[in-house]
Structure 1
């Protein structure tokens, strides 16, 4: 079993790459998975020698080297030079390897600037936190992003997050206000995209798009009024609406084609995709068919931020059952609110060893207090 650690570039720079690498080696970690293109964030940094919090809008932590077209990564405003390049040079002098943690469609900065390429609800609202992967401009952006990173020759692998139909209301907008009970079904239907390209793709497949859109919009409204229970499972509702099921199937085929292009863009650099959103086994809510996409990725990574070994294994087995012989790596959160002591983390790692999980990732170097690093050190022995 190998161990890696997710990390933010500002934490490595503030502490010093050499110091961080040395601490990670003490922890038994041999790889950093670095946020290279990331969503809007406020991060609390308990061990950072220069700050206790960091704010950033959706930003790239490198200088783009490709001709991206309409959509292009926006370098972080506080970055002088190229943080990725600088970190890679310093890390090359250590025994810690480097991989990329890359956010795709979850980009509120690009969405606000280009609402015409974002997810469009059945009611006609632009969900500006999520770019729509049916849009040709978004597909071009995602492929160029992967190609740009892969051709730098500095990464062991590239991991993809939200390269899909980003779900429902997103991870939450600043001061988000929702005082109606949507439930999983309502949030899912609220987020189903009806942009011009999603509609055109479905129409080409013979789906009655207008009827599907009306059904989705009406159901969202009926969930709000209580005429449709918010507790109704999405699977059951979709089975009762076959035209909607056909519409959703088109999304899965669109992502399959996109992932083939992403694999081509990555060249010889292995790519992995994060799974488990909105929960393990329900990736289809984001348009993801794990068997289809498994043809084009080298592995999946499941962030299983659970509080017991049994819950971690349950999540792992749920995802593994839906894949087609694609390795599944697992992420653990060895701190609040998931894990509260080192013994629990050790038993999680032992459980994952017992089912031959090849790689465990820990979240996240700059977010964890010192005691969590001690837990990792003991668990990785």
Structure 2
């Protein structure tokens, strides 16, 4: 499972120098609204997808959950060395519904098909422009691969990180599509999957002194030629893909390694770190807008997803709960715990991956995966105004 163990190079990153107001996360200049966080949504657990095997094991752990571009398919990856593909409509329709309204299904029945991978997976991404036919992955052996989901075979492989774990990979959202991957080797590499062997377009080392591991990479999906890179040195670097020599922005405010970055809109980034908080940033001013606290995150990747239409954020937690934040308030608006594992485990369970379905305005769907290999599907509906 993706985590920061005692021997990880991420345990002693460089100290941050940006002073923050602990209440607002705005550098001490602006005050957050004097308004308590409120939930304007009714959330309910609608489906549970688990294994019928007697008890779950750490090898079932789900590390990443991703909807495709039109929100019709769901892909998961993790320790099991499998990319599982679920048809959202078919999976939910075939569930057995009980009196509580929750639908239960076994992975074998819910999964359309799966592809075995040579190593544990840390990241998966649907390739834009492929009609949901191609999915990419980054793994613990430092390899980036692409799979043709119709033929169910690998069609591309890139092994240029020296065998060091790839924590994250992503694709650009323009044509031609290029890819980027971040690794324990301290680099973000940009490459062209159309070329044999994935021709390297650029190698970026954000922290040239400490060579801090790169934990997350994401292209701006709104058309701007910007790629965000989160590192173990607690900082987020932004690069113009047309000139990668030096970063065009630097976001400094987290107290520990940055594990995820997500674009909420064309100029706003939400980040997560193992300091137990999320932060929202204005990339134009390069200043924090708000800090979100409540979940537990001190050593693991617990997932981060943003629902842009509704302005909601979600992450997992090391206390085995799913957290939802409204972007307007720093406290969670909704928390739901996962059921404890059936059999005793060497470590307590935790929620390890989350993903919002981007469709809709008044209704939403959040899928969360756990370290026990269980998927839970939550549906939300905006409360009516009285």
**Larger Cα-atom Rg:** 1
TM superposition score normalised by structure 2: 0.34
Higher helix share: 1
TM superposition score normalised by structure 1: 0.34
